[in-house]
Amino acid sequence: MLMQTVYTKPFDGQRPGTSGLRKKVNVFQQPHYLANFVQAVFDSIGDFHGQTLVVGGDGRFYNREAIQIILKMAAANGFGKVLVGQGGILSTPAASCVIRKHQAYGGLILSASHNPAGPDEDFGIKYNIGNGGPAPEQITEAMYARTLDIDHYKIADCDDVDLDQTGSFVLAGMQVEVIDPVSDYAALMQSLFDFDAISKLLASGFSMKFDAMHAVTGPYATAILEGLLGAPAGTVMNGEPKEDFGGGHPDPNLTYAHELVEIMYGDDAPAFGAASDGDGDRNMILGDHFFVTPSDSLAVLAANATLAPGYAGGIAGVARSMPTSAAADRVAASMGLPCFETPTGWKFFGNLMDAGKVTLCGEESFGTGSNHVREKDGLWAVLFWLNILAVRNEPVADILKKHWQQFGRNYYSRHDYEGVDSVAAEAVLEQVRDQFATLPGTMLAGRRISACDDFSYTDPVDGSVSRNQGVRVLFEDGSRMIFRLSGTGTSGATIRLYLESYEADSSKHGLDAQDALADMIVAASRLSGLIDRTGRDKPTVIT
Ligand code: G6P
Ligand code: ZN
């Protein structure tokens, strides 16, 4: 078998974040572009000779072409074995599961998460290490440095691999196993949740809908919900993964998952609805005419964790990103558990999970997960909810109402101002910072301000410090206003305004969050000069 050394030149801009390298498809289609990056990854991850690599993606346009290049390069670079999902499919949490289960050296996940897919849209690639989580920054920075001086890459000169049949074969001296993308993941879910109880619930006439949004969770949800759990055919909607995600924007929130939202707020709404994103790591949970905020979802899972067999022995602790509401903190406090507040980004949970400090983690950005893998996990959250519903046998709305009665309600909303001028966005945060010295002790929106700061986090495991993670105005009653610039926006800047107001009195738990937070919303925009500085009179997206 011929191993080729191909001479190449560096490309600009191949710096991966912890969610990898994301670019338009036509950037990746340039000759040598992907190969350069893959070689830079292989040159930065240590000695993997004879070891196993996991490869798969969310099925978006260019997934299959990318996998052919990666397999041939893995062979030429000395991997002993590649496990690749059939059809090139592996959801992000499933890839994390397969890496851990098969003690792989690492994995390459091909995805741009919820970003639209297709020839004119986005593609992405990221490397996960042996614990199943995204490569830490020292490694991604080493990859970037390598992309700047790369002058050749190694690739086997052989025919393309048939990705559509499961089975094993040898490619240029390397073992390739095309695996069922669902089975390892499904087995892990069966080890965590009471599938018998969920099957009985589904057989009892309990109705549900899962919206895979034409993306990667289709095969997982169909195999698990309709297959293993016996939900009626049609429970999974938009279940066929498409290379362009059906032209949609597979981000499970009230704006983009509107097809599901209309069903859940329509006549004869099912009892339970859920959706996941392009690569299967995000989730949205709905009841009949009822939206569960991601912050409340984390709190409910924590409070009810022991109802699921995988967590029956109790949980070690909970972690949430700073802008996520403090609903989970109240649960943790009542259970005597530690609760960690981290900066935005799933990567900050990795150390806490590896050190055994936390079991459950969640973010307001529709991410929930546990130490079963090292990524957030959409379908896991759905199964966890189904397990709780099967045991409690109550509507979703009643579970939330009782939860609020017990712990109080953290009214919560996020207002996004997308595509704002970057200078204006910085100025909004700066205007709040300028008042840090004078605000504490004063009244705003009927509440007394207790403190203001720029959120800073010291990782309790490795001592690393992350500063400037969001501008906070904190109130004595537990209410909060947070101003933060998105780290994932694509054009201009996105200002995120997070609003939270704590209400202990259960007679006041029935309000719409926007109404309950109305005075906070007005006060936040006055305080920051948001409207004047951005020229926007209302947010682009409200979640
Ligand atoms: C990605 C990350 C999440 C993060 C989210 C929001 O999905 O995986 O961990 O919470 O982006 O980031 P942003 O900076 O846009 O608020
Ligand atoms: Zn995602």
Q: What is the DSSP string of 362-380?
A: EETTTEEEETTSSS--HHH
pLDDT tens-digit map of 136-153: 888 999 999 999 999 999
pLDDT band at residue 425 under the 50/70/90 scheme: very high
Q: Using alpha carbons only, give the angle 160, 250, 90 rounded to the nearest 5 degrees.
A: 35
pLDDT band at residue 19 under the 50/70/90 scheme: confident
Residue 490 has pLDDT above 80, yes or no: no
Q: In this structure, what are the phi and psi dihedrals at residue 25, rounded to the nearest 5 degrees?
A: -55, -45
Atom 1 (ligand 1) nearest CA: 345
Residue 421 has pLDDT above 80, yes or no: yes
Ligand minimally distant from the alpha carbon of residue 252: 2
Is the pLDDT higher at 18 or at 231?
231
Give the Cα separation of 314 and 328 in Å (integer): 15
Atom of ligand 1 nearest to the CA of 489: 15
Residue 242 has pLDDT above 80, yes or no: yes
pLDDT tens-digit map of 347-356: 899 999 999 9
Q: What is the pLDDT of residue 518?
A: 96
Distance from chain centroid for Cα 110:
15
Domains 185-407 and 409-542 share a fold: no
Atom 16 (ligand 1) nearest CA: 486
Q: What is the pLDDT of residue 137?
A: 85
| pTM for this prediction | 0.96
Atom of ligand 1 nearest to the CA of 364: 10
Ligand minimally distant from the alpha carbon of residue 17: 1
Task: Indicate if ligand 1 lies below 6 Å from the C-beta of 488.
Answer: yes
Give the Cα separation of 352 and 458 in Å (integer): 12
Complex confidence, ipTM: 0.97
Atom 4 (ligand 1) nearest CA: 345
* Domain 185-407 in this protein, CATH class: alpha beta
**Could you give the C-alpha distances from 521 to 219, 264, 367, 467, 530, in angstroms and in order?**
41, 27, 24, 26, 11
Residue 270 has pLDDT above 80, yes or no: yes
Q: Say how many Å lie between the CA of residue 424 and the centre of ligand 1.
A: 22
Task: Indicate if ligand 1 lies below 6 Å from the C-beta of 323.
Answer: no
Is there a contact between 425 and 497 (Cβ–Cβ < 8 Å)? no
- Mean per-residue pLDDT, 470-479: 96
Report the share of the chain in percent with pLDDT over 90: 95
β partners of residue 498: 414, 482
- Structurally, at CATH architecture level, domain 2-180 sits in 3-Layer(aba) Sandwich (3.40)
Give the Cα separation of 217 and 252 in Å (integer): 12
Q: What is the pLDDT of residue 2?
A: 82
Atom of ligand 1 nearest to the CA of 496: 16
* Domain 409-542 in this protein, CATH class: alpha beta
Give the Cα separation of 98 and 191 in Å (integer): 15
Atom of ligand 1 nearest to the CA of 113: 7
**Could you give the C-alpha distances from 79 to 51, 107, 164, 173, in angstroms and in order?**
5, 12, 22, 9
pLDDT tens-digit map of 366-411: 999 999 999 999 999 999 999 999 999 999 999 999 999 999 999 9
Token pair for 266: 């329509």
Q: What is the pLDDT of residue 1?
A: 59
- Mean per-residue pLDDT, 7-13: 96
Task: Indicate if ligand 1 lies below 6 Å from the C-beta of 17.
Answer: no
DSSP structure string for 415-465: EEEEEE-HHHHHHHHHHHHTTTTT-TTSEETTEEEEEEEE--EE-TTT--E
Is there a contact between 449 and 442 (Cβ–Cβ < 8 Å)? yes
Task: Indicate if ligand 1 lies below 6 Å from the C-beta of 283.
Answer: no
- Mean per-residue pLDDT, 172-176: 96
Domain chopping of the chain, boundaries? 2-180, 185-407, 409-542
pLDDT tens-digit map of 77-135: 999 999 999 999 999 999 999 999 999 999 999 999 999 999 999 999 999 999 999 99
Q: Using alpha carbons only, give the angle 496, 426, 528 rounded to the nearest 5 degrees.
A: 65
Is the pLDDT higher at 18 or at 434?
434
Is there a contact between 348 and 362 (Cβ–Cβ < 8 Å)? no
The overall longest dimension of the chain from CA atoms, in Å, is 75
Give the Cα separation of 48 and 38 in Å (integer): 14
Q: Say how many Å lie between the CA of residue 488 and the centre of ligand 1.
A: 6
Give the Cα separation of 496 and 322 in Å (integer): 13
Q: In this structure, what are the phi and psi dihedrals at residue 458, rounded to the nearest 5 degrees?
A: -105, 115
β partners of residue 340: 319
Mean residue pLDDT across the chain: 96
470: left (phi over 0), alpha (psi -120 to 50) or beta: left
Question: Active-site positions?
Answer: 113
